[in-house]
Amino acid sequence: MESLFTQTRRLAAPWRVAHVGLQQAATHIVFAVENAAKRLACPACGAADQPIHGRLARRWKHLNFFPYKAIIHA
């Protein structure tokens, strides 16, 4: 299921699906997506190879994934 989600959502390195949780009773799937990079470009100025100072966990509803509601946690 991880590879199917990765392909259909076109995730590319350094992003990856860490875990998929199917909750049939609630009719939704939770996709845990993570970024394993230690350094990235600065989102403000675009400077390359900057250390990551912190990460905020976020959760949102995505387009349905077949008959299931899709929740992404990153």
Question: Number of helices and strands (H, E) in the chain?
Answer: 1, 6
Question: What's the pLDDT band for 5 if we cut at 50, 70, 90?
Answer: confident
- pLDDT at position 58 over 80: yes
Residues 6 or more apart in contact with residue 9 via CB below 8 angstroms: none
- Dmax over CA atoms of the chain, in Å, equals 46
- Chain-centre distance of CA 16, in angstroms? 7
Q: Which two tokens stand for residue 11?
A: 């995730």
Question: What's the pLDDT band for 74 if we cut at 50, 70, 90?
Answer: confident
Question: What's the pLDDT band for 47 if we cut at 50, 70, 90?
Answer: very high
- pLDDT at position 28 over 80: yes
- Chain-centre distance of CA 24, in angstroms? 21
